[in-house]
Structure 1
Amino acid sequence: MNVIEEDMEVHNEQVENKEEVVLTEDEKRLLELEEKLATSEDRYLRLQADFENVKKRNVAERAANQKYRSQIIAEELLPALDGFQKALDTQSDSEQMEALLTGMKMVYGQIMTALEKEGVEAIPALGEQFDPNFHQAVMQDSDGSKESNEITMELQKGYKLKDRVIRPSMVKVNQ
């Protein structure tokens, strides 16, 4: 390239740079509008994502409510089941008492069947290894014939609804 061409190229670059710097009012307005549009689109996309998250959360909450719908009634029935169990564990000498206990066993069985249909089940405890997720240790035992951390006595039956513990079993655990 010769000097004239180089000067011309430098001049063209300077003119282009000046055009970039010097904007007309319409171009400024267009840039502002494009910036506002980009901001609005971003805001719209964020709101849409938030809305989708809320919808997903509502669906998950409804599914959990449906799955655990019987938890409240089960929690309310547990003390009555404990009372039934204590009554059924009593020894009787008379025929009348035996007839009464038989009737109570039938009612207890019907209640347990209804709860089992809803997914409520007793937590196994006696002879099992202690698991703090399902058992609450309230006493300690020192029986040499049992393994360490083995449950030696169940003081109060625990229950779970599907995979959720309603009430942990109160147990006596071997050291």
Structure 2
Amino acid sequence: MNSEEKTPETEAQQPGADNEVQQATAAAGDPPSTDKDQIPSEEKAESKEKKHRKKKKDPLQEELDKQKEENSQLQERLLRISAEYDNFRKRSTKEKDGIYAEGVAGTVTQFIDVLDNLERALAASETEDDFTKGIAMVVTQFKAALEKLGVTEVDPAGGSFDPNLHNAVMHIEDDELGEGAIVDVFQKGYVMGDRVIRYAMVKVAN
């Protein structure tokens, strides 16, 4: 008999062998996972760790950011205070100059009348004696003192009428003279900077 032929006994044993193979396979369970199966889980873990690091800020960096913010606020405050102080200083200087100019103008106005009288006396003198020379010296010193104070004489003789500097007290009609021509000066004017201390009194033509 051929050895490959199945006997009834062999056929009877075959189902049992199949059962043993099935049980061994079931006991073994699922096949072990490979490295490829572990890669997605590792990537997820790394992603979570990165997110955690982003959320958890370095304490030193937080303190540095805080100091930068405080420094920026202090710089802005310093700039505002500096600007306010500069404006205050300019206002104070302007007010101080205004008070000084007003005080000088009020004082000079009183002395200008004295200077007018000295000049009239000098103009009326017909001789050049020592007395007349003395008056001339006083007038010269008087004018030099006014110049040191910033006071300038306004003598409009031969000019045109300017309402900002002159006070027209008389008007005449003369075809030979131009419009607004100053014919005569009754009293000279004086200015100190942009301030008119006294307007010149004049006679105006046309």
> What residue number does 1:124 align with?
155
DSSP-derived class of the 2:124 partner:
coil
> What residue number does 1:40 align with?
none
Q: How does 1:74-153 map to 2 (within 5 A)?
A: 74-92=108-126, 98-153=129-184
Give the unaligned 5+ runs of structure 2: 1-80
DSSP-derived class of the 1:125 partner:
coil
Quick check: 1:58 aligned with 2:130? no
Change (3 A) 1:91 1:143: farther
Change (3 A) 1:91 1:66: closer
TM-score (normalised: structure 2): 0.54
Q: How does 1:39-58 map to 2 (within 5 A)?
A: 56-58=90-92
Deviations 1:61-106 (A, max 9, x none): 113334565322211111101111110110325x6xx321110000
Deviations 1:4-29 (A, max 9, x none): xxxxxxxxxxxxxxxxxxxxxxxxxx
DSSP-derived class of the 1:89 partner:
helix
CA distance in 2 between partners of 1:108 and 1:161 (Å): 19
> What residue number does 2:190 align with?
159
- The percent of aligned pairs where both chains have the same amino acid is 35
Q: What value does the CA root-mean-square deviation take over the aligned residues?
A: 2.8
TM-score (normalised: structure 1): 0.63
Change (3 A) 1:51 1:91: closer
- Size of the aligned set, in residue pairs, is 128
Assess if the C-alpha contact under 8 Å between 1:137 and 1:170 holds in 2.
Answer: yes
Deviations 1:13-56 (A, max 9, x none): xxxxxxxxxxxxxxxxxxxxxxxxxxxxxxxxxxx899876554
Partner amino acid, structure 2, of 1:106: M
Deviations 1:127-147 (A, max 9, x none): 111111100000012232221
Assess if the C-alpha contact under 8 Å between 1:68 and 1:161 holds in 2.
Answer: no
DSSP-derived class of the 1:127 partner:
coil
CA distance in 2 between partners of 1:51 and 1:118 (Å): 30
| Structure of larger gyration radius | 2
> What residue number does 1:172 align with?
203
CA distance in 1 between partners of 2:121 and 2:155 (Å): 21
Partner amino acid, structure 1, of 2:179: S
CA distance in 2 between partners of 1:123 and 1:157 (Å): 6
> What residue number does 1:71 align with?
105
